[in-house]
Amino acid sequence: MDRRRAAAVVVVALGALPTSAGCSATASPGAASCVAPEVSAPAGAAPGAQIEVDGRHFFDDCFDTGQAGTPAGTTGMEPVLTVDGVRHDVDLVEPLDADAEGRWTVRLAVPGDLAPGASLRVGVSAHGIDYLSDAVSIVAP
């Protein structure tokens, strides 16, 4: 096959991608994109301190195909934390549930034996996925 013919095959194949990928030139009314869940925590904390951890955009669905209404908030989430990349479960009496706006807040204790400079990330596990905050720097008490 000569170069011109090869280039034409590539152009034709690339031109067909949007259609074969399920995209459409027309937008459906009410369609939206899903917003990824977010977890926030303080930038720094001392060992043994209580920190507030917040989540938002935690829904069991995102209604991105035009469904009416608002999806339910995610329920049954389990708090988790990582210390220098090692995952640890956090024991709570009851699992966390997001409210109707997809938000939740929990107070967690920073492990008391962490040395200053350690990297802590906190969050929740939902549907088998860990959603974690940015690093919380451990500072001297």
Contact 40, 108 (CB under 8 A): no
- What's the pLDDT at 70? 87
d(CA 60, CA 71): 7
Domain 29-138: which CATH class?
mainly beta
With cut-offs at 50, 70 and 90, classify the pLDDT of residue 33. low
d(CA 52, CA 106): 6
List pLDDT tens digits, range 93-122.
788 999 999 999 999 999 999 999 999 999
pTM, two decimal places: 0.72
Looking at 28-32, 46-50, 88-92, which range is the least confident one?
28-32
Distances in Å between the Cα of 123 and the Cα atoms of 51, 61, 96, 98, 131 are 12, 19, 11, 13, 5
List pLDDT tens digits, range 46-87.
999 999 999 999 999 888 888 888 899 999 999 999 999 999
